[in-house]
Amino acid sequence: MLVDKLFSGGRGDTGAVIDLTFTNRFTETLPADPRTDEHRRQVMGACFSRVEPVQAAAPALVAWSAEMFERLGLAIPDDLDDEQRTELARVLAGNDLLPGSDPYAMCYGGYQFGNWAGQLGDGRAIALGEVETPEGEHLTLQLKGAGPTPYSRTADGMAVLRSSVREFLCSEAMFHLGISTTRALSLTLTGDKVVRDMLYDGNPAAEPGAVVCRVSPAFIRFGSFEIHASRGDIDTLRTLADHTIANHFAHLPGAEAPDAATYAAWFGEVAERTAEMITGWMRVGFVHGVMNTDNMSILGETIDYGPYGWVDDFDPSWTPNTTDKAQRRYRYGHQPQIAYWNLAQLGNALVPLVGDEIEGLQAGLDRYVSTYAEGYRAMMLAKLGLSTERSDEDADGLIDELIRVLQLTETDYTIFFRRLADMPAGGQGRTDAELIESLSDAFYAPGDVDGEAGAAIALWLRRYFDEVADDALPDTERRTAMNAVNPKYVLRNYMAQLAIDASESGDHSVIAELLDVLRRPYDDQPEAEQWAVKRPDWARTRVGCSMLSCSS
């Protein structure tokens, strides 16, 4: 249903609660699939298919990001009356389409778990279109879980509440941590039931359906290019690349009429942004869980929050994704290499655009390696409150040894750095036991940190404090600097699960509470101490906390 304007009694000159200006550059400039039904099919020579969201039975707004409403120039749901909120929920669930909206699903492919999977596409995401904000930004609004598309393959195009809560909260949390990410505008219950076999073990159950409205300048993925290259459809590949450069990388020389050098410079920038994104993930202990090339944004944004997780006790081999348990391809410590592998696949897809000049693409891959190596070292030094004015060997030695000692006993990655920041310099006179005691909050079994593990940790601490002494930064300044890059609050898996449990029983306040706390992840928030503690024991083995599947 097309709605005219939302609504009576709103605010502003027009009286509208939602009054968006659609620009729709994606659908206006790129080749469309001529068919507009949602029958599953291979879509050739096109970047998208027009498709409308399904009608949800009873849309109800559950959570929203007030600052995203503001950025879009929209009235904030808090300020609306019940009737207006229902109307808004109908738009955000996809029931009512705004004038100017041109809904579509994107065609893309991807390498899944290392293998080419052919056409994937937006199987359960429908973009409403691109809008221009009051500040002149172009942002695409996309509904995840709003019904089937030609790309839904054997699935239903729907999403359940639990995965939608996770996507909603984590996109906002990542943004506030300062890591490039797609955003979430809203979380809406559809009023429909969706059947899922959560652990793929023959136990299907009906779960509440939900829709997240995601926001990004573009949802174009590495796989968006790979699909056309794989089919030898160089015209469409070039059209999409030129569109992406002109609209999203317009600062590059030659962006108006790209040549081989422009494509190479663009690829280099994608590589650099990807390196920065991964550095951010490593800094905060985030594990994406499904780094397939269809889940890699061309803008270097974290995208598609599925079975992601946060390392609680530091373990580079940890992955939250049970579907990847055997191979652990997407484990925490492997993410930098996987991003490189994914970029290499993207580079291969772009070869037809650069002709003989493939050194430009190789340079892009090299740029990933150097950006990541330097960025990682600088990031780890920042976590330690140390200046980069020291030899690479000294820095790397200290960091490598830290990575090793963090694994000697179960050590909480988040709490460790906050406690380290609290420790005064000049600790050489302290005994091993005193040094360890200062960090006891970070250990899952503090009583067991003795013997070899304790000695190794204490030795590392002495070495660290030698370096701190070299920098001669006052303790308070070191602490402030460290606390600005080491979050106190992250969306630990069990926290998201508590929000889900409450929400599934009708209490959405935990989502709002977490959203609020995670808005200031680096600040001490005395009223929110309970969200800054180690993962509780009950969460160690609970489904949704330590184990997640792709079922969503």
Residue 120 binding partner per list ligand AMP, Mg ion, none, with a CB distance cut-off of 5 to 8 Å that depends on partner kind:
ligand AMP
Closer residue to ligand AMP in complex, CB, 67/156:
156
Q: Which residue is listed with tokens 């070299």?
A: 470
CA 44 to CA 56: how far, in whole Å?
Answer: 30
Among positions 152, 262, 274, 549, the unique one binding ligand AMP when judged by CB under 6 A: 152
Residue 216 binding partner per list Mg ion, ligand AMP, none, with a CB distance cut-off of 5 to 8 Å that depends on partner kind: none
152 interacts with, out of ligand AMP, Mg ion, none, CB within 5 to 8 A per kind:
ligand AMP
Helix (H, G, I), strand (E, B) or coil at 32: strand
Binding to ligand AMP, residues 267-306 (CB under 6 A): 290, 294-295, 304, 306
Rule CB under 6 A: is residue 544 a binding residue for ligand AMP? no
Query: In this chain, which of 304, 312, 313, 467 binds Mg ion, going by CB under 5 A?
Result: 304
Q: Which is nearer to ligand AMP, 121 or 427 (CB)?
A: 121
Environment class of residue 235 by beta-carbon count within 10 Å: exposed (0-12), middle (13-18) or buried (19+)? exposed
For ligand AMP, give the closer residue by CB, 155 or 205: 155
Tokens standing for residue 482: 């460290």
Closer to Mg ion by Cβ: residue 95 or 171: 171
Integer Rg of the chain from CA: 24
Smallest distance, ligand AMP to C-beta of residue 160, A: 9
Cβ 196 to ligand AMP, closest distance in Å? 8
Q: Which is nearer to ligand AMP, 125 or 354 (CB)?
A: 125
By CB under 6 A, residue 320 contacts ligand AMP: no
End-to-end CA distance of the chain: give it in Å, rounded: 27
Q: Report the site for ligand AMP in 120-139 (rule: CB under 6 A).
A: 120-124
Residue nearest Mg ion by beta-carbon distance = 304
Among 157, 268, 487, 521, binds ligand AMP (CB under 6 A): 157
| Residue 145 CA, distance from chain mean position | 17
Assess 551 for contact with Mg ion (CB under 5 A): no
C-beta contacts of 433-439 below 8 A and 24+ residues apart: 435/461, 435/462
Report whether 221 contacts 296 (CB < 8 A): yes
CA 24 – CA 31 distance, rounded (Å): 13
Examine residue 33 and tell whether it contacts Mg ion (CB under 5 A): no
Residues in the chain: 552
Task: Give the nearest distance from C-beta 116 to Mg ion in angstroms.
Answer: 16
Among residues 33, 122, 233, 294, the one annotated as catalytic is 294
Residues 6+ apart with CB under 8 A from 90: 3, 56, 59, 96
Q: Which stretch binds Mg ion (CB under 5 A): 53-61, 244-252, 301-309, 445-453?
A: 301-309
Please pick, from the candidates 163, 247, 295, 486, the single residue that binds Mg ion as defined by CB under 5 A: 295
Under the binding rule (CB under 6 A), the answer on residue 333 touching ligand AMP is no
Annotation says 294 is catalytic = yes
Decide if residue 155 touches ligand AMP (CB under 6 A): yes
Q: What six digits make up the tokens of 168?
A: 């909603």
- Rounded to 10 degrees, what is the CA torsion of 406, 411, 414, 416? -70
Q: What are phi and psi of 49, to 5 degrees?
A: -125, 135
Nearest to 166 by CA among 482, 527, 515: 515
Burial class (CB in 10 A: 0-12, 13-18, 19+), 365: middle
* Binding span for ligand AMP by CB under 6 A among 17-25, 116-124, 247-255, 449-457: 116-124
* Residue 530 DSSP symbol: G
How many residues interact with ligand AMP (rule CB under 6 A)? 17
DSSP string, 306-355: SS-EE-SB--TT--SBGGGTTT-TT-GGGHHHHHHHHHHHHHHHHHHHHT
Please report whether residue 119 would count as binding ligand AMP according to CB under 6 A.
Answer: no
Indicate the residue among 304 and 412 with the shorter CB distance to Mg ion.
304
Does the footprint of ligand AMP cover residue 156 (CB under 6 A)? yes
Range in contact with Mg ion (rule: CB under 5 A) among 133-141, 262-270, 292-300, 360-368: 292-300
Would you say 295 or 503 has its CB closer to Mg ion? 295
Does residue 94 bind ligand AMP (CB under 6 A)? no
- Residue placing its CB nearer to Mg ion in the complex, 155 or 403: 155
Residues in 391-450 that interact with Mg ion by CB under 5 A: none
- Contact between 133 and 140 (Cβ < 8 Å): no
Q: Is 45 left (phi over 0), alpha (psi -120 to 50) or beta?
A: left
Minimum distance, C-beta of residue 149 to ligand AMP, in the bound complex (Å): 7
In the complex, what is the shortest distance from the CB of residue 441 to ligand AMP, in angstroms, rounded to a whole number?
36
Q: Is 505 helix (H, G, I), strand (E, B) or coil?
A: coil
| Dihedral in degrees, nearest 10, Cα atoms 524, 530, 533, 536 | -170
Q: What is the DSSP string of 247-301?
A: HH-TTSTTTTS--HHHHHHHHHHHHHHHHHHHHHHHHHTEE-S---GGGBBTT--
Interface size with Mg ion, residues (CB under 5 A): 2
21-22 and 125-132: which strand pairing?
Answer: antiparallel
Choose between 177 and 296: whose C-beta lies nearer to ligand AMP.
296
Beta partners for residue 109, in sequence order: 119
Judged by beta carbon, residue 302 or residue 371, the one nearer ligand AMP is 302
How far apart are CB 251 and ligand AMP at their closest, in Å? 30
Which of Mg ion, ligand AMP, none is residue 534 near (CB under 5 to 8 Å by kind)?
none
Q: Please give the residue whose beta carbon sits closest to ligand AMP in the complex.
A: 123
Choose among 143, 67, 65: nearest CA to 104.
143
Q: Which stretch binds Mg ion (CB under 5 A): 280-288, 297-305, 350-358, 503-511?
A: 297-305
Q: Which residues participate in catalysis according to the annotation?
A: 294
Binding site for ligand AMP (CB under 6 A): 120-124, 151-152, 155-158, 290, 294-295, 304, 306, 550
Binding site for Mg ion (CB under 5 A): 295, 304
